[in-house]
Structure 1
Amino acid sequence: MCRRPIQPRTPKKGPCLRVLVTGANGLVGRALCSVLDQTGHQVVRAVRTSTTPWEVPVGDLNKSTDWSEALGQNTDVVVHLAGQVPSTVGAVGPTGDRHTEVNTLGTANLARQCAQNGVKRFIFVSTVKVLGEGKSEPYRDTDLAVPADAYAISKWDAEQALWQVAAETGMEVVVLRPPLVYCPGVKGNFLSLMQALDKRRPLPLGDIQNQRSLIYLGNLVDVIRLCVTHPNAAGKTFLVSDGDDVSTPELVRRIAAALGRRPFLLPVPVSWMLSAGRVLGKQAAVDRLLGSLCMDISPLREELGWTPTYTMQEGLEATAQWYRKTKAVA
């Protein structure tokens, strides 16, 4: 059980910049805008459709989106969070063309307009999936890209478009590649896992031997905040995580501890799970479940002097607190 509430930690104030945040009404966007406000920046919140006077509507994100109102005058930094997210396992998701339209062409269009308007720095939140999945050794930012699905390909292509704009215009680009982000409000497989543990369902995950990196929202936001002003961030690509890699069974145990539950992990042989995946046509999903996705974040530590603001257990406890409160009012 969580013994104390996890409170947002207020970063030190620095130079005041005009920062445009796209996707400002998403989980990451809302948290980032709050932190940037606290550090004294002038934050412009760009959203698809505004619901409050302080949001700037830009409509659909594609190669023709007009960003002139959101960029306004003298925007210093743009943090690009908006995009087409991947579908959850088993859901009918967007096509590859939709990912390309939004994540690749939409990003390139925004970057060109930023450069034309004198934006100094463009921070792009990509994904570690551009490097692939299943590698037993830790991924490094120097590894060759091998994106395996439409979402990862669209993010990789967006990265390449950004470097081209940077080379042509001199605008600084920073690329961040996070793994799975967890936090209060999390959805998808992470939420499903919490629900299974809460209901004390047996999970056939006890024999899995892998290593996975994750990142708590508070840590991701802190990295972005640092990259807004840090001179050493310009022109770099960083892998970001909590810096605490765990196996799937260990992650289950930690989530269970945060929920105050005892996990019921069945030691199902990995070979059986692989066979079941082939028979049921779920080979790719099983491979992801069993495989490793571990990240080396030493360049982030060494070049920017960053250390995780929150431990993984603190992040899991904050997420568990949210889950319990949500369940209580449901």
Structure 2
Amino acid sequence: MNVLICGAHGFIGAALCERLEKSGHTVIRGVRRAVAKNELEVDYTRDREATQWDALLQGVDAVINAVGILIENRQHTFDEVHTKAPIALFDACSRLRIRRVIQISALGAQCGATPYFKSKRAADDYLQSLSVSSWIVRPALVYGSSGASAAFFRMLASLPVHPLPAGGHQRLRPVHVDDLTEAVECLLETDAGDQRVVDVVGGEEVEYREMLSIYRRSLGLGRFCQMSIPAWLIGVGAALLNRIPGSMLTGDTWRMLQAGSTADASATATLLKRPPRSLRTFIDRDAADLLHRALSSWRCILLRSVLSFVWIWTAVSSVFLYPRDESFALLTRAYLQGTNAIVAFWLAAAIDFVFGALTMVKPGRLLWLSQAVLIVTYSLIIAVTMPEILWHPFGAVLKNLPILAILLILFSEDTSR
């Protein structure tokens, strides 16, 4: 079958191209800038009349519309990309009697009130009104190793503290992109009949907070904490990031998350002739462990070595190299004099040395946390009593920031119990 896939350079479109080509279909890749022989130039900001599609559809048996955007801009609006251009395409398909049309919509478009959902629903409804043989596919949140949202959630899962919007109780049933593309392939040969809409979802419904913890375990990472973020604060952040290119948090995505993304999995199981994959299997454990071990084999020892050297060198230089009178002068500015200054000097040097030694011989989350607390305490005292050091060109205190970043990484990746 000759299949035109519009949006072939997108996450879902590219996966569909790969799947259908492996199955023996002739795939014509609809892209904005055609450079290869199997690519066809389509522009959803330009091709908004049915007649503009006539020449593009010559020799095509089936059309899959996988074009979509999450954020509008001056060049690409929901109305153009999700509604007007697809309607023109569907009209042309109907007039030219294309054998099958598949519209990749979104779960929630059937009743969602966001501009994203409304624009998708308008095209879905129009396609259903035509006599052309068609399917409307409404996938849940789609996971794939190359997907932007999947990468974003993996990043959140890797953090030692998981930020949970409004407690993270939103219900989700993520679907793996391989299951989605397999379902679409089945629909190319499945007669729609009266049922022209199918929800494609994964095999397990979870809360948002559960999804992050499952991804973290799949990545081979250790313990973590969860922190609920008030809904109003997420709303403010979404408003501020609403027009930022590449932002995963916008007004629309926040409202979509609040509504959840789940449905009955029976239709997906019927299409696939098996239960859809559970998100616990999305990240291949062996691959994740190998990647984590490969990175940890050099990254952890490098960070610990550098950190240990900084602590030990600070102790040695304080006791043996730096003029002690100048050290006590600094302590005086921090309101430490006489015996208190002497005790503070030797105690600080001892702590620095012990921290440096423990970093190499007995690392652990408690050690990283203790070091971070000490660094923040030092920095706050200096900022209050000697603020001019903050803007010193050598940045002696500001260099604490990368040290804190190292501690955050070590704390996040520590797998000790």
TM-score normalised according to structure 1 size: 0.73
Q: Tell me the distance in 1 between the aligned counterparts of 2:187 and 2:205.
A: 23
Q: 1:183 aligns with which of 114, 120, 144?
A: 144
* Structure 1 residue 235: Cα displacement: 4.4
Q: In structure 2, what is the equivalent of residue 56 of structure 1? A: 40
Residue 28 of structure 1 corresponds to which residue in structure 2?
A: 12
Whether contact under 8 Å (1:211, 1:292) holds in the other structure is yes
C-alpha spacing 1:277/1:86, structure 2 compared with 1 (3 Å): closer
Question: Does the CA-based 8 Å contact 1:197-1:261 persist in structure 2?
Answer: no
Query: Counterparts of 1:159 and 1:227 in 2: how far apart (Å)?
Result: 16
Cα separation, 1, equivalents of 2:235 and 2:42: 44
2:161·2:227 contact (CA, 8 Å) conserved in 1?
Answer: no
Contact residue 218 and residue 310 of structure 1 kept, 8 A: no
Q: Deviations over 1:58-79 (max 9, x none)?
A: 2344413722343112x22111
Q: CA 1:278 to 1:25, structure 2 compared with 1: closer, same or farther past 3 Å?
A: closer
**Matching of residue 120 in structure 1 with residue 99 in structure 2:** yes
Match of 1:172 among 128, 133, 144: 133
Separation in 2, partners of 1:44, 1:250: 39
Q: Which residue of 1 aligns with 2:247?
A: none
Contact 2:105 2:139 in 1 (8 A): yes
Partner of 2:191: 231
Which AA in structure 2 matches 1:298? Answer: S
Q: Displacement, 1:286?
A: 6.2
Q: How does 1:6-25 map to 2 (within 5 A)?
A: 17-25=1-9
Provide the C-alpha distance between the structure 2 equivalents of 1:18 and 1:32, rounded to a whole number of angstroms: 13
Structure 1, 154-163 or 242-251: larger mean CA deviation: 242-251
Selected match of 1:80 from 65, 68, 72: 65
* Structure with bigger gyration radius: 2
The change in CA–CA distance for 1:216 and 1:21 in structure 2 (over 3 A counts) is same
**What is the CA-CA distance between 1:209 and the residue it aligns to?**
3.3
Question: In the alignment, which of 219, 238, 244 is matched to residue 204 of structure 2?
Answer: 244
Q: CA RMSD for the aligned pairs?
A: 3.3
1:216 CA drift (Å): 1.2
- From the superposition, tell whether residues 96 and 126 of structure 1 become closer, same or farther in structure 2 (CA, over 3 Å): farther
What is the match of residue 269 of structure 2?
301
> Kindly, what percent of the aligned residue pairs are identical?
21
Which amino acid is the alignment partner of residue 63 of structure 2? V
The one of 54, 59, 63 aligned to 1:68: 54
Secondary structure at the aligned position of 1:231 is classed as coil
Partner of 1:6: none
Relative to structure 1, the CA distance from residue 248 to residue 121 in structure 2 (aligned partners, 3 Å threshold; closer, same or farther) is: same
- Structure with the largest fraction of helix: 2
Out of 304, 311, 315, the residue aligned to residue 282 of structure 2 is 315
Number of the residue aligned with 1:12:
none
**Whole-Å separation in 2 of the counterparts to 1:280 and 1:59:** 32
- Which amino acid letter does the alignment assign opposite residue 106 of structure 1? A
Distance, in Å, in 2 between the alignment partners of 1:279 and 1:79 is 37
Spell out, residue by residue over 1:3-24, the C-alpha distance to the aligned partner (whole angstroms, 9 max, x if none).
xxxxxxxxxxxxxx22211111
Q: Does 1:202 align with 2:161?
A: yes
Could you tell me how far 1:239 is from its partner in structure 2?
0.8
Counterparts of 1:45 and 1:278, CA distance in 2? 38
CA distance in 1, matches of 2:237, 2:41: 44
Query: Residue 163 in 1 paired to residue 113 in 2?
Result: no
**1-side partners of 2:227 and 2:213: how far apart?**
14
222, 225, 231: which one aligns with 1:265: 225
Distance 1:305 1:60, change over 3 A: closer
1:71 is matched by which residue type in structure 2? L
Match of 1:11 in 2: none
Superposed CA offset, 1:37-89 (max 9, x none) = 2222222221111132221112344413722343112x221111123x112xx
Worse overlay, 280-289 or 97-106:
280-289
Structure 1 gap ranges (5+) = 1-16, 88-92, 132-144
Structure of greater relative contact order (alpha carbons < 8 Å, 6+ residues apart): 1
State the Cα deviation string for residues 126-172 of structure 1 (Å, max 9, x = none).
011314xxxxxxxxxxxxx2x22111111000011112222xxxx11
- State whether residues 134 and 192 of structure 2, in contact with CA within 8 Å, keep that contact through their aligned partners in structure 1: no
In 2: Cα distance, 1:214 partner to 1:191 partner: 14
| Contact 2:64 2:103 (C-alpha < 8 Å) held by counterparts | yes
Distance 2:142 2:115 in 1: 19
Relative to structure 2, which stretch is displaced further, 26-35 or 149-158?
Answer: 26-35
Alpha-carbon shift at residue 273 of structure 1 (Å) = 1.6
Alpha-carbon separation, structure 1, partners of 2:7 and 2:177: 15
Q: Say if 2:201 and 2:268, in contact at 8 Å, map to a contact too.
A: no
The C-alpha deviation readout for 1:225-282, integer Å capped at 9, x for no partner, is 01000225774111111121111221111110121112523254xxx72354477786
TM-score (norm 2): 0.59
